[in-house]
Structure 1
Amino acid sequence: MNKIAIITTHPIQYYAPWFRYLAQENDISIKVFYLWTFGITQQIDQGFQQSIKWDIPLLSGYNYEFVPNHSPNPGTHHFWGFKNPSLLTKVQSYQPNIVLLMCYNYASIYNFIFRWDTRKIPLIFRGDSHRILPRTGLKEWARRQLISLIYRRFSACLYVGKANYNYYSYHGVSAENLFFSPHAVDNDRFFSQTQEAFKQAKLWQQELQIPEDHAVILFAGKFESKKRPLDLLQAFIQSNLPQVSLLFVGAGSLENELRSQAANHPSIYFAPFQNQSQMPRTYAVADLVVLPSYGAWETWGLAINEAMCLSRPVLVSNHVGCAQDLIHPNRNGLIFQAGNISALKTCLQQAFSNRETLKNWGEESRKIISNYSYVQATQGLKDAINSLKT
């Protein structure tokens, strides 16, 4: 039996179902150590700029413990957001034979990594960082040395996709210590709700007063600069697409500016933040889902996984971490150069030049995403564990 201690920041809607899946495996026993209660208690989300609490179960079906966090300003938005002095002793008392870390760039995790005796119990890391937008200079050199030093503490690393694999390689992790554990969402939840989601989407489109004969371009997420919703708005206006509407779903710091720029356009709509139970319907209303993010911050883009579960064609920038893995150009979507509004406009025009082709792209999305599930993620973890025994 592999007794695994999993350390992660807080309950996350994408990870909790995987933990439930792992708990059902015959050869694995897990306990998740959370460093913060965000997601299960009503708290302010920095990106959405509003108080939220996820409305799907995040703590059922597996063993877990909340490690007290003494940070005066808890959160993932800064290094000192996690100060959990009892983390080491809590994990030791569980007596695992493997520790899986899902993050490291916080005070508590650094303290744990460098105090943990890796000669007795190995550490495995699963992350999703990439270097799609490379940085240079002395500061980047120093950063590379530090991260490479951290990775030497891990006996194996799990990579979620091609860009993430290259990130590990850049920081000195050898190929024999890298194992594919793809980023995944709860595919089964979305698959099982597909039929009902499309029924709800028709009604929702009417409620939003989007014309019934209009196709819908969807942006769903935080209205913040790194997500580049303003790029999409401008590209949509310039594309001049007949019988197509643009729907922004979410909230954030750019909301007022988005609404101001959209004020005189009759085919741009807004809907508030949608909780997890409403996300299948949210994707179902779309004929194309767009993620135009810029920079190093969109490490994967799990919203794209969710959209593909609902058989949606997808359009992403080349800075989105999943682009190389999930988007097959002219097969299930398109990729454009991040920050290039003209290129984004061209892609929108191409996508809606043939509605039947667009529908076929969506069907292909569902086929592709079937290979990015908790089954494959778990197999990668097991492969890494088995490698430690040889």
Structure 2
Amino acid sequence: MMRVLIVHNQLWAHYKSKLFHEIDRAIQWADPADELLVAQIALYEASRKVMQNDDTITYDYPYQVLFERSLDQVSFRERREALFRIFNEYQPDVLNITGYFDWAQVLLMFYARRKGVKVVISSESSSVDHNRSGWKETIKKVIVGRANAFFCFGKTSAEYLESLGVVKSAIKVRNAAVIDEQVIRQRYDDAKKELGNNANAVSKKFVYVGRLAPEKNLNTLMLAFAQTLKKTGSDWQLLFVGGGPEKDNLEQLAADSGIAGKVIFAGGFPWYQVPGWLAQSDVLVLPSKSEPWGLVVNEAMVCGLPVIVSETCGCADDLVRDGVNGFTFDHMQQADLEKHLTWFVQNPDRIAGMGQESLKLIAPFASGPVAAQMAEAYRELAAKRWEA
């Protein structure tokens, strides 16, 4: 019998819950005697407390919440003691930790290896999402050197691990950036049906979904959109779905640029309501200065939308093919973004076809098949432990 323990930071992370649900199904399908347990350190991160409202959809998988409060309120000592306790109680064959930023999890990994337990590290980091320093990279090399296998969000995170000395064969999953594609697509289709014939009468829209924060590079998007309207005289609109500290500044920038009537601030919504806004939109834009991945791109592509994504988003290499399903651009080059916005304004007949290409490119990131890859990796590692 195989026993797998996954350590995760917070219960209210809906796409992770979807993945855990699918992993549990895959494990049980292969052998009902095998077991999975997800140790959720806390309920939520303080900055994402709103995720507690995501109770319209539930996921069924075995888990235990270690602390019934915010992750930010759990000390290092509490995390370490709780993780060691559940590890010793559960006695797993395979331990899967979330990255290498939490020293409590790193210490647990070293302890597990001394016990002969196989270790998987799930990694979302890439070489472009943060500034790197030599001593930190050295520490990371030591940490990843003790793991047996790795699950990566995509190409950039896999390449980053390889730069730290991880051999390619140890990276068992290279497409772990999954969403609940079934819920997203169903809600998108439902919203499209509600719009009905009125959809054709509505102006076409570029849409941004996420926090209105400085690192999202939204000033550049606003200015590029203003220039696009000036050059083309089109009636396209720019829709912001999300809230954050930059809202007032962006509203003022829209007014100063003379495009206030073309910019819509919808406010913030839980993830399962976002498809309703995507249904009113035509092209997603993610202009961030840096993103480990950018799951909103997955969401848009599952809905059949073309995308414009900055090169420093982790998903760009995996999900965007220039001229096929959208475009990538240098986030520091406003003119680059203007060019792509203008292209869609001048080629509206290409939107549907590019959206179909998005559906093809996002297919390998379906949660079920990805979870099955992970379950198989757990089985291989457990078998090696038993053979040792």
TM-score over 0.5 for the pair = yes
Residue by residue over 1:185-217, the C-alpha shift from the partner in whole angstroms, topping out at 9 and shown as x without a partner, is 1111123333212134579x99xxxx9441010
State the match for 1:223 in structure 2.
212
SS in 2 for 1:116: helix
The list of structure 1 runs, each at least 4 consecutive aligned residues, that deviate by more than 6 angstroms after superposition, is 69-72
Letter in 1 for 2:274: M
Structure 1 residues 266-277: aligned runs within 5 Å:
266-277=261-272
Whether 2:291 is the aligned partner of 1:285: answer no
Structure 2 CA distance, aligned partners of 1:216 and 1:74?
41
Deviation of residue 80 (structure 1)?
Answer: 5.8
Structure 1 residues 73-92: aligned runs within 5 Å:
73-74=72-73, 83-92=79-88
Structure 2 CA distance, aligned partners of 1:331 and 1:144?
36
- 1:372–1:218 Cα change, 3 Å: same
* Contact 1:219/1:291 (8 A) holds in 2: yes
SS in 2 for 1:222: coil
State the match for 2:359 in structure 1.
366
- Which region of structure 1 is more displaced relative to structure 2, 103-112 or 262-271? 103-112
* Contact 1:158/1:384 (8 A) holds in 2: no
Matched residues, percent identical? 22
Structure 1 residues 161-240: aligned runs within 5 Å:
161-182=154-175, 183-200=177-194, 212-240=201-229
Deviation of residue 71 (structure 1)?
Answer: 8.3
* Contact 1:185/1:306 (8 A) holds in 2: yes
- 1:310–1:3 Cα change, 3 Å: same
TM-score (norm 1): 0.87
- 1:32 corresponds to which of 29, 35, 38: 38
Structure 1 CA distance, aligned partners of 2:55 and 2:71?
28
Deviation of residue 61 (structure 1)?
Answer: 0.8
TM-score (norm 2): 0.87
- 2:321 corresponds to which of 316, 328, 331: 328
State the match for 1:98 in structure 2.
94
Deviation of residue 67 (structure 1)?
Answer: 1.1
State the match for 1:352 in structure 2.
345
Residue by residue over 1:112-171, the C-alpha shift from the partner in whole angstroms, topping out at 9 and shown as x without a partner, is 2233344521110111111136856xxx21111100111022111112211111100011
Structure 1 CA distance, aligned partners of 2:282 and 2:117?
49
- Which region of structure 1 is more displaced relative to structure 2, 30-39 or 165-174? 30-39
Which structure shows the higher helix fraction?
A: 2
Residue by residue over 1:218-250, the C-alpha shift from the partner in whole angstroms, topping out at 9 and shown as x without a partner, is 011001111111111111001114020001111
- Which region of structure 1 is more displaced relative to structure 2, 303-312 or 82-91? 82-91
Letter in 1 for 2:38: V
- 1:244–1:222 Cα change, 3 Å: same
* Contact 1:74/1:82 (8 A) holds in 2: no
Structure 2 CA distance, aligned partners of 1:200 and 1:74?
43
Deviation of residue 103 (structure 1)?
Answer: 2.8
- 1:150–1:57 Cα change, 3 Å: farther
- 1:351–1:72 Cα change, 3 Å: closer
* Contact 1:73/1:81 (8 A) holds in 2: no
Taking only aligned residues, the RMSD between alpha carbons, in angstroms, comes to 2.6
- 1:302 corresponds to which of 290, 295, 298: 295
Letter in 2 for 1:247: L
Residue by residue over 1:67-123, the C-alpha shift from the partner in whole angstroms, topping out at 9 and shown as x without a partner, is 137989438xxx969845211111221122111112331242233223334452111
Structure 1 CA distance, aligned partners of 2:77 and 2:281?
36
Structure 1 CA distance, aligned partners of 2:144 and 2:52?
33
SS in 2 for 1:112: helix
* Contact 1:71/1:80 (8 A) holds in 2: no
Structure 2 CA distance, aligned partners of 1:249 and 1:81?
38
SS in 2 for 1:316: strand
- 1:32–1:133 Cα change, 3 Å: closer
Residue by residue over 1:16-56, the C-alpha shift from the partner in whole angstroms, topping out at 9 and shown as x without a partner, is 011111222223521111111117xxx553xxxx8553324
State the match for 1:247 in structure 2.
239
* Contact 1:88/1:112 (8 A) holds in 2: yes
Structure 2 spans left out of the alignment, 5+ residues: none
* Contact 1:308/1:314 (8 A) holds in 2: yes
Letter in 2 for 1:91: F
- 1:74–1:282 Cα change, 3 Å: farther
- Which region of structure 1 is more displaced relative to structure 2, 57-66 or 25-34? 57-66
Residue by residue over 1:325-346, the C-alpha shift from the partner in whole angstroms, topping out at 9 and shown as x without a partner, is 1111111111111221111111
SS in 2 for 1:371: helix
* Contact 1:309/1:369 (8 A) holds in 2: yes
* Contact 1:200/1:281 (8 A) holds in 2: no
